[in-house]
Amino acid sequence: MKLPFFGRPAPLGNRPMSRDKADILLLLFACTLVLLPHASHLPVWITPVCAALLGWRGWITFRGNRLPPRWLLLPVAALAMGGVYLTFRTFFGREAGVSMLALLLTLKLLEMHAKRDLFVALFLSFFLILSSFFYSQSIGTALLTLAAVVAILTTQVSFQFTGAVPPLKQRLRMGATILLLAGPVTLVLFLLFPRIQGPLWGMPGDAHSGRTGMSDTMEPGNIQSLAQSDEIAFRVKFTGSPPPKAQLYWRGPVLSGFDGRKWFPQRRQTPGTTSVNLQGEALNYQVTLEPHGKRWLFALDIPRAVPLIEQNPARITYDMQLLASQGVHERLRYDAASHLQYELNPNETPASLQQWLDLPPGFNPRAMVFASDLRRKAQSSADLVSAVLRHFRTEAFRYTLQPPLLGRDHVDDFLFTTRAGFCEHYSSAFVVLMRAAGIPARVVTGYQGGELNAADGFLVVRQSDAHAWAEVWLEKRGWVRIDPTSAVAPERVEGNLASAIPRQILGGLITLDASNNALFAQLQKIRQNWDAVSNAWNQWVLNYTPQQQRNFIKSLGFEDVDWRTMATLLLVFGSLAVAIVVLPLLFHETKRDPVEAIYLSLCRRLAKKGFPRELHEGPRSYRARLTSAESPLPQNQKAALARFLELYETVRYDATDLARPTAVARLKSLSAECR
């Protein structure tokens, strides 16, 4: 069956847009909504090609031209598939597959000659919508997906009408209604269908790519670049009130090795045990960690015990670093407890401390001399620590995101030449000075601070809160946290990065001072509200894990949760959801069209007189039989029937220019004449 307007030119002139054009343009709009979420991750050449193909199809629709011949489409399709292969060197995998789907959908729109081609395009659209969750499962993506599904359903409904077509608003309502009817069953399947462990929208090889987060090495520039990102690292919900920002040190990778420029983790060179004397009350909280692809977890300095994580068991290292057994490739939630006052390994032996004194030879000679001078003047290790912090505080050091470039001896350059840097510059220089003066020291990286969201009570820690500090070992005190950045920029520790370094936009033309800017405060409030909505989506939808599903089923009163229990619940609640949707439809009386009611009333009267309408007869065939010469009806009744059925056919199938109330009154009058 040929689809109207798919192959023949439309009449010219300033006439209202025909139904065929309107339906095709609605299809193009739906396909645009489907392709929109993919624009950010498709290769740079595919999005313009898809836009050009959509524009080509729209131009054909407006002009009423014929669709391009197959001999033209085949080379275009071959070039598109060749481009996909040259880009990915394969036709398999997530990226190549989604790219081909996008191109095939837009190419199919130029090759629609029958109704089955329309359904192919619609089903391709549904597949492409599903694939958008490969890349993002945010609430924004979900809303855009719902809009695209409504547009596709509206398009499908529009092509099903054979007579008069309802207005677009009514068809959109029909599409949204179809989607809403699937809501109860969808909710039951979401809550009770067995969950699988692991990233649902991932594939081997490329499911875990592109993660942003803390690195296990530190050199000048890497934390500085990370701190310019507003991406969320993790969220924290405290059982009680959160501690002051100055005490929020979220411990991450501990770096002991140093090669003259880069800091990196190092195994403990001598055997020993970790001794921790915890003081004060514990702080209880829950962390929702965003995927970052690495093994480390974050907890307040210092964690009381290893968090219990069923799907990714964790352990704690000798330097109190939390590590998961596998990389964190999906959102992870765990409960933790920490003590802010503690003594860590106060009884270390000189042999065990040696690895935290090592420095590579031949680097930073001026820093070595400076440390020796400080050592001679200091009466104790604590005095020497205070002297270095006082040096940072009183000399002309600056805290900046744009420090000058450093040479081979970057600690010397920083301490005696540039005196401008970010937290990694200060922590690195401080630890080098400590080691040069004979005090064991190491670098600790992680996050400092966080932003309390008043909308939902969660503390939001962003990549911009990335930080590096130092730990020194002092006799009878053990490892003590020292943050040299606080000596230069205390507002960074007591507030956040924006407090220490005002944010600049438009290439530095506008500076937003967080301390005194109404616009900044308003933007911050909007961002907090949106973060609260996104967090609720993450907590209750994306983080609905198998464990949470078991807890939910147990809350219904089922202690022994096995596959039989889940199958029974799924069957019972699924049947109930289907009944909620189907029963109202079965018992709902559809409001009858008055035009159709008059026509059916006349057909019943004629059937009683011996002239029933056959099932295959439409109004035109019925009229021809009733008014034929062989019909025994009187001539005046034949004329009345002819006028009635002709008007009914016009109103029913081509009522574009006829006012419906007038038509109903006229049909009633003609029906009375037919008696």
Contact of 99 with 84, CB cutoff 8 Å = yes
Is residue 208 among the annotated active site residues?
Answer: no
pLDDT computed for residue 213 by the predictor: 64
Assigned token pair, 429 = 């220089």
Q: What single DSSP character describes residue 113?
A: -
Distance, CA of 154 to CA of 122 (rounded, Å): 11
Residue in the block written with tokens 């399947």: 189
Amino acid at 336: A
One-character DSSP codes across 599-644? HHHHHHHHHHTT-PPPTT--HHHHHHHHTSTT--S-HHHHHHHHHH
- Point out the catalytic residue in the list 339, 410, 467, 674: 467
Burial of 165 (0-12, 13-18, 19+ CB in 10 A): middle
In this predicted structure, what is the pLDDT of residue 472? 95
Among residues 423, 425, 465, 531, which one is catalytic? Answer: 423
> How is residue 120 written in tokens?
């192919």
Query: Which residue type does 376 have?
Result: R
pLDDT at 508: 46
Give residue 325's pLDDT.
92
Residue 272 pLDDT:
65
What is the spatial distance between Cα 286 and Cα 458, in angstroms, rounded to a whole number?
10
Q: How deeply is 297 buried, as exposed, middle or buried, from its count of CB atoms within 10 A (0-12, 13-18, 19+)? A: buried
pLDDT at residue 554 in the model: 83
Our CA angle for 288, 292, 296, nearest 5°, is: 75
Write out pLDDT tens, residues 574-611: 889 888 888 887 776 666 677 788 888 888 888 888 88
Catalytic residue, from 301, 319, 483, 531: name it.
483
State what percent of residues in the chain have pLDDT above 90: 23
Using the Cα atoms of residue 368, residue 371, residue 375 and residue 377 in order, give the sign of their dihedral: positive
- What residue type is 564 in one-letter code? R
- CA 236 – CA 450 distance, rounded (Å): 9
What per-residue confidence (pLDDT) applies to 196? Answer: 67
- Rg of the chain's alpha carbons, rounded to an integer? 36
Q: Check if 423 is active-site.
A: yes
Cα 324 from Cα 317, distance rounded (Å):
11
pLDDT of residue 163: 65
Cβ count near 467 (within 10 Å):
28
Stretches where the chain sits below pLDDT 50 are 1-14, 199-210, 500, 505-510, 655, 657
The β-bridge relationship of strands 441-448 and 249-255 is antiparallel
